[in-house]
Structures are given as structure tokens and as C-alpha cells.
Amino acid sequence: MQSIDTYNFKGKKALIRVDFNVPLDDEYNITDDTRIKAALPTIEKILNDNGSVILMSHLGRPKGVEERFSLKHIVNHISKLTGRTVNFAEDCIGEKTCSMACDLKEGEILLLENLRFHPEEKKGDEEFAKKLADLADCWVNDAFGTAHRAHASTAIISKFFPNDKMFGYVINSELESVDKFINSSVQPVTAIMGGAKVSSKIGIIKNLMNKVDNIIIGGGMTFTFVKAMGGKIGNSLVEDDKLFEARELLKEAKEKGVNFIISVDALCGDKFDNNANTKTFSVHEIPEGWIGLDAGDESIKNFKNVIENSKTILWNGPVGVFEMPSFEKGTKEVAYSVAEATSNGVFTLIGGGDSVAAANQYGVADKVSYVSTGGGALLEYIEGKELPGIEAIRK
């Protein structure tokens, strides 16, 4: 396997699959440029080695060509961050793009238009992948967020670079940190699982049972577990078609000796609204008309107690509707507690869109060991699935 640190980029054109799927406001200003900043070390390394860089990415979910999803909106910002001129190709393939790539000199950058303007990208079309591959001498995959997709630019393209493909620094550090968690033998290992639905987390919870000592269950998925145990959950979020699986998970945890820490009480609202009337109930005795929207104080105390006694921690998903200030306490306390553990030498990994947003909201993103950029990709990797974008380089 090639490494970005040892590959000779001199005089070569490197096609980098980046994740520049950044949020834009109505005037096309970038509201969070974290993903662009994350790719800078990879770009700089290649340019400083006297190579040239062709950047390709998707932006949003366009249906065909849609002006608002054009990557031209981010050209100036990339230019500002790199301190270099950024050329822009109005299509990611085609004659004009080919000649722009051909004319690219050492130290220069070319950004291609949104890959998803071509439906072939998501279909993993081989001919389309070949057209992209023809633009360059080597392929660098640095988009961890899309590594679980077998798209043309994230995986299929690899066959055209059998000896000239490698990970960029974003994927390298993601894998290093996630592997550190997965392979950690520093116990107790704890996974904090929150978020809305259990359906999207069953696979990962199942796989985590073979690795961790404690699984904290918070957020909306709590109530599917509670109902599965026979509790009354009022109008709380529930997935009735997952009750059997929830029961199976509880059984498996018992058999494997994994400590399942489910909320014991919930801060409930009489409507799904920040201004709702609130009351705390036992999670097993929530009256009709009330919705569990955050972990109650007793649950928060239990969560913190487990976190304080852990040596390796993964946090995925908020333990309440933290977007509403009235129901943010549980998530906020978990965030502080995970940061505190980190300062005591515990390895802490935060991953999954909403827990990352929460970590940012409570100012702890730089107080934990690692914040992963990959939502679905991270979960699938921890789940033990092969990610096409990773295997494409490794194989």
C-alpha cells in the first residue's frame, strides 16, 4: 500500500477525493469550513512536493445540475485558505476539464464541479470513474465521510490506479483513532449511545457488545428499550417494529456480561417544544400525554458515574433533544464529563453528526482525544463492516 508520506509527487497530478460537502447559507457563504480546513495538510503536502492537485467532491444532494449545489461557491474560500489560485472546471469530466488538468503546473490547484451533477457518480459507474481517473497520475482518498459508499470517485476509481493510490491525512488519522478505540484493551471501555432511533444503531450496539464493558443508552432510543421491558412510556418516541430486537439486545448484554446503563428517569415535556411544561418521571411510568425528551437527574448521575470510571470512551448521539435548551442538560453534562475524563488521560472518541454538533455547542470538541468527521462511515467501520472507500486503497 502506498503512503502519502513516501509517495513521490514531483511532477505528478494528484486527484484527491475530498469531502467539501460544507453547509452554505442563502448567500452561498460557508457557515462551517471544518471539512475544508481538515483537507489542507494533504493538499499542502502534495503541492510542497512539487505535485499538482485536482480536487473532487460532492456537495449536497443535487438532482441533476443545480446552481445552489455548485462548488464554484467555495472556490474563493479554498483560495484564501491555501493562499493559492484555485482554477475551477465547470464540469468534473469532459474535454475542457481534460485540457485544464493537462495544463496544470506544479504547485497549482484545480477544483472540479460537483461530482453528483452526474448520476453516474452515485451509481459507481465504471466509465465515469475512468474519465475522472484519466485526469491524473495518482488518486488520494481523503473523504472519510463517504468511505462507506461504493461511488465512482470513492471506490470504483481505484482500479485505474493499481499502484498509485493512497489515503490522505484525514482518513489516516480517522482510521488511527477509530482503530485505537476498537482495539483498545484499556478497560473499562464504555460506549455512550444516544440519538433518536434504535433502528440505525442496532448493528453497532450488537458489535460493541463484543468489545465494551459498558453501554450507556440515552436519547429517543431509550423508550424502545423501556417498552420492550414492559414499561409505560407515554407519548415518547418508540419504534414498535424494533421491540423484539431491543429485547434480544438486552438478553445478549446479560449473557455477555455487558453492563447496559439505560435511563431510569426522563425529563418529559407535554409537547415537543422548548416551551413545553416539564416534569420528571420514572422511564417506566410516563403518563399518556407526556414525552421523554431528556435524561432525568438520576440517569445523568448514573451516566456520569460510569463515564468517570471508564478508561476508553466512545460517544455517539445526544442523550436528549439538546437542540432545545430546556432539554439539553443530559447531553451537556455528558459532554463535560467526557471532556473531564480526557483531561484525566482517558482516550475519548466522539463521532456521529449530532454528538459532534453537541461537542461544538458545549465547547468540548478540542478537549477530547478525537472528533470523527464520519457519521455513517464511522458507525459502519465500528460495526465491523468493510467500507468500499477503505478497501479500495487497502486491497
Out of 51, 62, 168, 292, point to the residue binding ligand AMP (CB under 6 A).
292
Catalytic residues: 35, 197, 353, 376
Nearer residue to ligand AMP within complex by CB, 78 or 377: 377
- Give min distance, CB of 317 to ligand AMP, in A: 4
Out of 296, 317, 351, 374, point to the residue binding ligand AMP (CB under 6 A).
317
Out of 16, 47, 237, 300, point to the residue binding ligand AMP (CB under 6 A).
237
Nearer residue to ligand AMP within complex by CB, 168 or 318: 318
Give the distance, in angstroms, between the CA of residue 260 and the centroid of all CA atoms in the same chain: 24
DSSP secondary structure, 47-104, as one string: HHTT-EEEEE---S--SSS-GGG-GGGGHHHHHHHHTS-EEEESSSSSHHHHHHHHHP
Asked if 39 is part of the footprint of ligand AMP (rule: CB under 6 A), the reply reads: no
Q: Please identify which residue in the block is written with the cell numbers 461511488.
A: 151
Virtual torsion, Cα 41, 20, 352, 318, nearest 10 deg:
110
Asked if 293 is part of the footprint of ligand AMP (rule: CB under 6 A), the reply reads: yes
Asked if 296 is part of the footprint of ligand AMP (rule: CB under 6 A), the reply reads: no
Out of 352, 374, 388, 389, point to the residue binding ligand AMP (CB under 6 A).
352
C-alpha cell at 154: 470513492
Asked if 374 is part of the footprint of ligand AMP (rule: CB under 6 A), the reply reads: no
- Give min distance, CB of 7 to ligand AMP, in A: 37
First to last CA, the chain: 8
**Given the rule CB under 6 A, which of 65-73, 276-284, 317-325, 360-368 is the region that contacts ligand AMP?**
317-325
CA–CA distance, 243 with 38 (Å, rounded to integer): 40
- Give min distance, CB of 218 to ligand AMP, in A: 7
Q: Residue 69 — left, alpha, or beta (φ > 0 → left; ψ -120 to 50 → alpha)? A: alpha
CA–CA distance, 144 with 154 (Å, rounded to integer): 9
Nearer residue to ligand AMP within complex by CB, 72 or 284: 284
Nearer residue to ligand AMP within complex by CB, 231 or 352: 352
**Given the rule CB under 6 A, which of 61-69, 152-160, 276-284, 314-322 is the region that contacts ligand AMP?**
314-322
Asked if 323 is part of the footprint of ligand AMP (rule: CB under 6 A), the reply reads: yes
Asked if 278 is part of the footprint of ligand AMP (rule: CB under 6 A), the reply reads: no
- Give min distance, CB of 370 to ligand AMP, in A: 18
Nearer residue to ligand AMP within complex by CB, 62 or 320: 320
Determine whether 254 is exposed, middle or buried from the number of CB atoms within 10 Å of its CB (0-12, 13-18, 19+).
exposed
Nearer residue to ligand AMP within complex by CB, 51 or 320: 320
Q: Please identify which residue in the block is written with the cell numbers 476508553.
A: 312
Nearest residue to ligand AMP, scored by beta-carbon proximity: 195
Q: Please identify which residue in the block is written with the cell numbers 447559507.
A: 25
Nearer residue to ligand AMP within complex by CB, 220 or 234: 220
Q: Please identify which residue in the block is written with the cell numbers 455528558.
A: 334
C-alpha cell at 59: 456537495
Edge-first strand order for the sheet with 278-282 is: 278-282, 265-269, 291-295
Residue 253 DSSP SS3: helix
Asked if 354 is part of the footprint of ligand AMP (rule: CB under 6 A), the reply reads: yes
DSSP secondary structure, 2-50, as one string: --TTTS--TT-EEEEE------B-TT--BS--HHHHHHHHHHHHHHHTT
Candidates 142, 204, 150, 151; CA nearest to 173 is 142
Asked if 220 is part of the footprint of ligand AMP (rule: CB under 6 A), the reply reads: yes
How many other CB atoms are found less than 10 A from the CB of residue 243? Answer: 16
Nearer residue to ligand AMP within complex by CB, 104 or 266: 266
- Give min distance, CB of 128 to ligand AMP, in A: 31
- Give min distance, CB of 215 to ligand AMP, in A: 15
Residues 191-210 that bind ligand AMP (CB under 6 A): 195-197, 200
Q: Is 347:184 a contact under the CB 8 Å cutoff?
A: yes
- Which residues form the interface with ligand AMP (CB under 6 A)? 195-197, 200, 219-220, 237, 292-293, 317-318, 320-321, 323, 352, 354
